[in-house]
Amino acid sequence: MGGEVMGEERRQSPRVQSYLPIHLVVLGEQRIIQTLTKDLGAGGARCLSPVFRPASCPVSVELCLEAGEHPLNLKAKIVWVKEVPQSDQYHLGLMFEDLSEENTKRLSSYLQKISSALAPAGL
């Protein structure tokens, strides 16, 4: 389903495993897809979706990094879609676009915090 090349890493930033609430709105639609991220990086995210949307669809993203904080409101594009085996769900690969300086800082800060929490303790 699309032009994904297996084994070829095209991301410009690494991803960390992260399960965060995320709301997607495909531009031109009224439906809000409420789901969770599976991984997150400075340039994009992978999330689950109960509905199929094709690659290259522009989406508005509301991403909650931490409870009690304002969510990030981002523009993104679906860059790949994969059916989850034996389910009626899909993995969507999102690429963030036109990140503001504030959103970039908040996202980088969160990723740095979660990466250091996942890193093994030094000797």
In a domain, 65, yes or no: yes
- The pTM score is 0.82
In a domain, 77, yes or no: yes
- Among positive and negative, which fits the CA dihedral 78, 27, 32, 68? positive
pLDDT digits (tens, 9 = 90+) for 95-118: 999 999 999 999 999 999 888 776
Q: What residue numbers bound the domain in which 39 lies?
A: 15-118
Indicate the number of domains in the chain.
Answer: 1
In a domain, 36, yes or no: yes
Helices (H) and strands (E) in the chain, counts: 1, 7
pLDDT digits (tens, 9 = 90+) for 19-76: 999 999 998 898 999 999 999 999 999 999 999 999 999 999 999 998 888 999 999 9
Place of tokens 């095209």: 10
CATH number of the domain within which 93 lies = 2.40.10.220
pLDDT at 5 over 50: no
In a domain, 5, yes or no: no
